[in-house]
Structure 1
Amino acid sequence: MAETIEDSPVGWVASHVQRYLATDGADGGKYHGYDALLLTTRGRRTGTLRRTALIYGRDGDRYLLVASNGGAARHPNWYLNLSADPQVEVQVGAEKFRATARTATAEERPRLWQVMTKVFPTYARYQKETDREIPVVVVERT
């Protein structure tokens, strides 16, 4: 029996995820013109699978995500979850695969941050709005 996956508790995100799933990303694969994927992590406290939709970039074969949380003072839950358990599932369009996610190293981050602020320039504003360094996440197929 397949494990239950809980979608984001944020209404508009859950709606985006459901449209994405129903159409294999034909509706939802772009979010306001930006490429979007679905990320499933395991809840660090509950062990429940959790799914959200995120804007992504690419670095060769790797996928890049930004744990911006809209510039909030706190990291998003999906980031805290993958920090505890880096084994994730990803859906890009109709393609689903397992992957390992990690925070970009201090050496990698400046270049990857530039890649992601070119993909979604609002990330630069989010960084100015918070005291925490917003992590860049590197996702690699396993």
Structure 2
Amino acid sequence: MTSVQSIPPSPEPYVHPINQPIVAEFRANHGVVGGPFSGGDLLLLTTVGARSGRPVTSPLAYFRDRNRLLVVGSAGGSPRHPAWYHNLRAHPAARVEIADRTLTVHAHITAGAERDALFAMIIARAPGYADYQSRVERPIPVVALVPAEAGDPR
């Protein structure tokens, strides 16, 4: 009789040490966190690493636009795009946690007039992003996360 080898579970997503307390608080409190995120809309985005292939979880502010969740690649005004953005470019399928709900999403990197209109809408809701944009030469990306059951993100 041959033994059946079990498939090992996928690795636990990597969470940057600076984000670990935020992720723990988010999960312990059904999506509610305090500190600088208090009162804001926060989600946990789990992507597949562009180079590592390993899952990575990042807490991000988000904005709703119809059936889409919009996230902004500001990286706090850094001159470089955040790692999660590169991950989504390489692997657009991702997972989002909002409160106690988990969704499979497809990332659509917006560009041109679509990106500009969405960024203007986001600045109207959260003016701090305009400050981030003023500090960097790169256009800060806006990524639309569309639940898999919603269909084509565009």
Provide TM-score, normalisation by structure 2.
Answer: 0.84
8 Å contact from structure 2 (residues 32, 38) kept in 1: no
AA partner of residue 137 (structure 1): V
Root mean square deviation of aligned Cα? 1.5
Identity %, equivalent residues: 35
The one of 55, 59, 77 equivalent to 1:53 is: 59
Unaligned runs of 5+ in 1: none
AA partner of residue 7 (structure 1): V
8 Å contact from structure 1 (residues 127, 134) kept in 2: yes
Aligned to 1:85: 91
Map 1:9-28; keep pairs closer than 5 Å. 9=17, 11=18, 13-27=19-33
Unaligned runs of 5+ in 2: 1-8, 149-154
8 Å contact from structure 1 (residues 99, 140) kept in 2: yes
Q: Using the alignment, how far apart are the partners of 2:124 and 2:25 within structure 1? A: 26
Q: What is the number of equivalent residue pairs in this alignment? A: 139
1:1-34, Cα deviation, whole Å (9 max, x unpaired): 243111123x2x2211111112221336x91322
Aligned to 1:8: 16
8 Å contact from structure 1 (residues 54, 65) kept in 2: yes
AA partner of residue 81 (structure 2): H
Runs of 4+ in 1 over 4 A off after TM superposition: none
Aligned to 1:97: 103
8 Å contact from structure 1 (residues 57, 115) kept in 2: no
Aligned to 1:113: 119
Provide TM-score, normalisation by structure 1.
Answer: 0.91
1:76-118, Cα deviation, whole Å (9 max, x unpaired): 0011111110001001111101000121121211211022112
